[in-house]
Amino acid sequence: MTTVLDPTRTPVRADHRAPLSRLALLEIRKSLSTRSGVALTAAASLLPAGMVTLMLALGESPPNAAVMLALLGTLVSMLMLAVGILSTAGEWTHRTVQTTFLLEPRRGRVLAAKYAAAALFGAAIATVVVATTLAVTAIGTGPDFSWDGIGVAIAATIAGGAVLTVVGAGIGAAVANSPAALTGTYITLLVGMTVLNGLRPAWGRRVDPLVGLYDLIDGTATARPIAVLTGWLVVSTVAATLLTRRRQLT
């Protein structure tokens, strides 16, 4: 039997790789395919508007919009860390990572896609937080409310949201276990950093990412918070990359 080759068909290359952008979009779809991912995303997006409404109803209002955004942006960042952690650790916990690495055996590319997806996802959630928070604030406050520094605060909130979601993805990939990664992260930030800030405030400001994010959004400082967030980003993603490349698939 003679095989006839179709000259109009494009040959399939053995080394063909899916574009990183397609892998990143696939990772975002994965994050939204689970109930926990949807619940965390919805909570992170809607909680700030509810908090602002409650604060204004009780007659409590920060001195300006930048401080309002700093308070709620820092609060939401805790949920965004969880979104990032579940996007990577969840695959190891539920053993779906085997399928992921069979489809794309280059683990570095998979992690790069996960980091890119986490950054886009985090920035999108932070953008919703900014929009809803400022909309409710504008409606519920009077003409004397200060909007000074709001441009910088908006940019810092969106960038900080993206960074901390990627940090969460790095932590999740490094630990490779959802409960352990979530528990360890929250104990470190809510207990360890709280104790450090109480005993050595100067040290806390040099290592606490939540304090760094707050200071960056409300305009208290710029260089130090950026250095703190960058440090967490680099350490978490580099550790995750090294450990993932050496980890056995079981």
Domain count across the chain: 1
- The residue among 75, 89, 106, 78 whose CA lies nearest residue 170 is 89
56 φ/ψ sector (left φ>0, alpha ψ -120 to 50, else beta): alpha
Q: Tell me which H or E stretch contains 48.
A: helix 35-57
Count of C-beta atoms within a 10 Å radius of residue 10: 6
User: Long-range contact list for 186-191, CB < 8 A, 24+ apart?
Assistant: 186/78, 189/78, 189/81
* Residue 74 structural domain: 20-246
In a domain, 15, yes or no: no
In a domain, 9, yes or no: no
In a domain, 173, yes or no: yes
In a domain, 78, yes or no: yes
In a domain, 98, yes or no: yes
**Residue-level pLDDT, tens digit, the chain, 250 residues:** 444 444 444 444 444 566 777 777 777 777 777 777 788 788 887 888 888 888 888 877 778 889 999 999 998 999 899 999 998 998 888 777 777 777 777 888 889 989 999 999 999 989 999 998 888 888 888 788 889 999 999 999 999 999 999 999 999 999 999 999 999 999 999 999 999 999 999 999 999 999 999 999 999 889 999 999 999 999 999 999 999 888 887 6
In a domain, 6, yes or no: no
